[in-house]
Structure 1
Amino acid sequence: MIKCSISDVKQYEGQEVLIKGWLYNKRSSGKIQFLQLRDGSGFIQAIVEKSRVSPELFELCEHLTQESSINVVGRVRSDKRAPSGYEMDVIDVVVNQLTEDYPIALKEHGVEFLMDNRHLWIRTERQSAILRIRHEIIKSAMEFLNNHGFIKADAPIITPATCEGTTDLFEIDYFGESAYLSQTGQLYAEACAMALGKVYTLGPAFRAEKSKTRRHLIEFWMLEPEVAYLEHEGNLELQEKLVSYIVESVLKNRILELKAIGRDISALEEIKIPFERMSYDDAIKTLKNNNFDIEWGDDFGSPEETFLANLYKKPLFITEYPKHCKAFYMQPNPNRPEVVLCDDLLAPEGYGEIIGGSQRIHDYDLMVQRLEEENLPMDIYKWYLDLRKYGSVPHSGFGLGIERTVAWICGLDHIRETIPFPRMLYRVTP
């Protein structure tokens, strides 16, 4: 007998296999029972025919309950009507635990109830499909970077100061001194890039921003590549190649999951490089021409980003924002110092910013000037200034928000479904 996962049953058509999993759902039509199984890798329907199994086994299956853990032996056969293309005819079932009073029925529940039971909600077909797509996004992003000579360099989560120049920090007591949960691994990635050339960090980031919008989490994950000797234009090209690769990988490897959540796959098939580009100046003109109350120098909110992104079917770069809108470390345009060599990459279909990137300041004196302008503590940033003091070179990088990318690729209404256990303004459990 072959022990296999549901995702691999296609390799064993006509053979007997053992699947260890859980009963997701069940229905009966008299002499036939239809068991929907899940094992973490996927879902499959197992058919129990009364005429082909013992009376004891048929009765046992009649009493199986939702989310009971079971081992099922069956013969795999193809079936074009099945979502995965395969079903199995049951030969034997062993019950590991018979579940009682499972709280999440396969019906509509309120969001707060589901969030309170998030540890169980993630077992449903839709939620598990989203989390498998999330895995594919992270795996493919790392695969792309690894294949292009990047080194993974881990950044600390506990830091001595802000990286983004904001006050939205979680302060902690670090043995009698103040420290903070990291907002980004970028500054440390810059140091590693000066040692290793091309690096990326992947880890959690924390923002104490009191936001309740569908796009914000308090704790989220960021992928942050950083490259020595890379300038603004090369940075844009790297971003679009990475995002295109991610989308292609999801379409190739997670098509069943995309179908399970009802995603419009044709919209993702439009994601080909090059992406669309628009300067901040042109974006302001476009918004003003469409009756937005906005002036040059204002930052964009969700309504502005959504409108601009909906002009195109592909992601849109907005480039060269005013200096005062952006972080202290961004390189000014040498021909126009009031704007910086930066970009926000907006996902189509109204999903807004998924990447923020820039060329970094590499001149020591200019970095000192910017720190002073932002009233940031020079002693805390001494190590960061050293990067501009000892062998400084032009360099660039960006941060890709994992959850916002998942929301876009999955076509989700709210970011709370993009991470196993979301942390939001009024939710820190389970």
Structure 2
Amino acid sequence: MVKTTISEVYKYEDQEVKIGAWIANKRSSGKIAFLQLRDGTGFIQGVIVKTDVPEEVFQEAKSVTQESSVYVTGKVQKDERSPIGYELLVTNIEVISRAVDYPITPKEHGTEFLMDNRHLWLRSRRQHAVMKIRNEIIRATYEFYNEQGFVKVDPPILTGSAPEGTSELFATKYFDEDAYLSQSGQLYMEAAAMALGKVFSFGPTFRAEKSKTRRHLIEFWMIEPEMAFYEHEDSLKVQEEYVSFIVQSVLKNCSLELKTLGRDTSKLENIKAPFPRISYDDAIKFLNEKGFDDIKWGDDFGAPHETAIAESYDKPVFITHYPKAIKPFYMQPHPERDDVVLCADLIAPEGYGEIIGGSERIHDYDLMKKRLEEHNLEMDAYKWYLELRQYGSVPHSGFGLGLERTVAWISGVEHVRETIPFPRLLNRLYP
């Protein structure tokens, strides 16, 4: 007998197999029982007919509790009604561990209850689908950058300086020194790009931002490419090709998961490069014409503003050339204007907001030194960063994509708390 997984049962049609699984749900009548089985790779229905199995097997099927772990033996049968195209005609059940009073039952539960039980909520079909989509985006990310000749580099999580100021950082002691949890690996990736040409990182970042919106997490994961000899326009092309690639990969490899989540895939099928662009100047004019009197030139955009702009397009849209005063110190000035910088935010459709922020970086030593002074940043802490402009500096660009917001958009999930296994929120550090 073959021991297999639910995702592999298609290989064994009309054969008997053994699967290790959990009981996600069950129902029974007098002569037949239905077990919803899951094993981490997928879900399948097990059917037990009373007249086809010993009495003790049928009674076990009726009495086994939700989330008990079992070994199930049965014959793989084709079934057009099944989401995976197959079901299991069960011949034997062996209980490994019987669950008692599993707290998440097949009924409506409040969000706080589900978050308190996040370690168990992950087992549900919906959360399983979201995590599989997240995994596919990560897998496709590595495929894209490896094929494009990028080198994966891991920046430190503990840092001695703040790339975008200290107001939203978690401070800690590093023996006798002050240290911070990283809010971006970008500065280190710039150093790596000067050594390896094209690099990318993928790791956790931390923002001590006291926000409770559906778009914000305290701890989240970022994909941060950095590219030597790439100017602003070159970077925008990489960004739109990358986002197009991961969306199409999810459509190709996670169709069942998207269906489980009820995602309208027609909105994703159109996500192919190139993406539309609107300058910050034109975005302000557009918003004012739409009745947003609260926004003026020099202000940063909030969620309602980004959503209004995105609704005018059926693809992600770049907002380019923001005012220098509202962007970090390292962004390259516009060659014809001193008040804006060579940067862009990529805004996802359907109200999901900014998923990428990127820019060309300042590569001139004197200008970078001036910017550090203007931002009152401690020169000793940034000595190594400034030296990148001293020893063979070149034009270079990079960006950061927030994984959780991207997962939320592609999967159609409303809140980012469902897009990371164990979310860290303003008032949540458990479980």
Give the TM interval when normalised to the shorter protein: over 0.9
The whole-number CA distance in structure 1 between the counterparts of 2:96 and 2:183 is: 44
The whole-number CA distance in structure 2 between the counterparts of 1:215 and 1:395 is: 29
The whole-number CA distance in structure 2 between the counterparts of 1:45 and 1:217 is: 36
The whole-number CA distance in structure 2 between the counterparts of 1:10 and 1:395 is: 49
Q: Is the 8 A contact 1:165 1:328 kept in 2?
A: no
Aligned to 1:427: 428
The whole-number CA distance in structure 2 between the counterparts of 1:248 and 1:30 is: 46
Aligned to 1:270: 270
Aligned to 1:158: 158
The whole-number CA distance in structure 1 between the counterparts of 2:12 and 2:193 is: 47
Q: How does 1:174-193 map to 2 (within 5 A)?
A: 174-193=174-193
Q: Is the 8 A contact 1:68 1:97 kept in 2?
A: yes
CA root-mean-square deviation? 0.8
Report the Cα offset of residue 29 of structure 1.
2.4
SS in 1 for 2:25: strand
Q: Is the 8 A contact 1:342 1:358 kept in 2?
A: yes
Report the Cα offset of residue 306 of structure 1.
0.8
Q: Which amino acid aligns with 1:35?
A: L
Report the Cα offset of residue 92 of structure 1.
1.4
Q: TM-score, normalised by structure 2?
A: 0.99
Aligned to 1:243: 243
Moved more, 160-169 or 415-424: 160-169
The whole-number CA distance in structure 2 between the counterparts of 1:265 and 1:187 is: 37
SS in 2 for 1:389: coil
Deviations 1:178-213 (A, max 9, x none): 110000000000000100111011110001111111
Q: How does 1:150-229 map to 2 (within 5 A)?
A: 150-229=150-229
SS in 2 for 1:388: coil
Q: Which amino acid aligns with 1:124?
A: S
Q: How does 1:15-414 map to 2 (within 5 A)?
A: 15-292=15-292, 293-414=294-415
Q: Which amino acid aligns with 2:53?
A: V
Q: Which amino acid aligns with 2:404?
A: E
Q: Which amino acid aligns with 2:159?
A: T
The whole-number CA distance in structure 1 between the counterparts of 2:53 and 2:220 is: 50
SS in 1 for 2:388: helix
Percent identity, aligned pairs only?
A: 65
The whole-number CA distance in structure 1 between the counterparts of 2:8 and 2:137 is: 21
Report the Cα offset of residue 7 of structure 1.
1.2
Q: Which amino acid aligns with 2:369?
A: V
Q: Is the 8 A contact 1:361 1:394 kept in 2?
A: yes
Report the Cα offset of residue 337 of structure 1.
2.0
Q: Is the 8 A contact 1:5 1:41 kept in 2?
A: yes
Gaps of 5+ in 2: none
Report the Cα offset of residue 317 of structure 1.
0.5
Moved more, 3-12 or 237-246: 3-12
Q: Which amino acid aligns with 2:45?
A: Q
Aligned to 1:9: 9
Deviations 1:193-246 (A, max 9, x none): 100111011110001111111110000000000010011011000001100110
SS in 1 for 2:224: strand
The whole-number CA distance in structure 1 between the counterparts of 2:321 and 2:135 is: 32
Q: Is the 8 A contact 1:317 1:343 kept in 2?
A: yes
Q: Which amino acid aligns with 1:390?
A: Y
SS in 1 for 2:350: coil
Q: Is the 8 A contact 1:279 1:319 kept in 2?
A: yes
Q: TM-score, normalised by structure 1?
A: 0.99
SS in 1 for 2:384: helix
Deviations 1:41-78 (A, max 9, x none): 11000110111111111011111100000011111111
Deviations 1:127-153 (A, max 9, x none): 111011111111101110011111110
SS in 2 for 1:128: helix
Report the Cα offset of residue 166 of structure 1.
4.4
Q: Which amino acid aligns with 1:79?
A: D
SS in 2 for 1:115: helix
Gaps of 5+ in 1: none
Report the Cα offset of residue 290 of structure 1.
0.5
Q: Which amino acid aligns with 1:134?
A: R
Q: How many residues align structurally?
A: 430
Q: Which amino acid aligns with 2:339?
A: E
Q: Is the 8 A contact 1:183 1:205 kept in 2?
A: yes
Q: Which amino acid aligns with 1:344?
A: D
The whole-number CA distance in structure 2 between the counterparts of 1:57 and 1:382 is: 72
Report the Cα offset of residue 164 of structure 1.
1.1
Deviations 1:294-336 (A, max 9, x none): 1111110101001111111100000010101111101011111
Report the Cα offset of residue 341 of structure 1.
0.6
Q: Which amino acid aligns with 1:194?
A: M
The whole-number CA distance in structure 1 between the counterparts of 2:253 and 2:274 is: 23
Report the Cα offset of residue 265 of structure 1.
1.1
SS in 1 for 2:204: strand
Q: Which amino acid aligns with 1:105?
A: T
The whole-number CA distance in structure 2 between the counterparts of 1:153 and 1:286 is: 40
Q: Is the 8 A contact 1:367 1:385 kept in 2?
A: yes
Moved runs in structure 1, 4+ residues, more than 3 A?
none
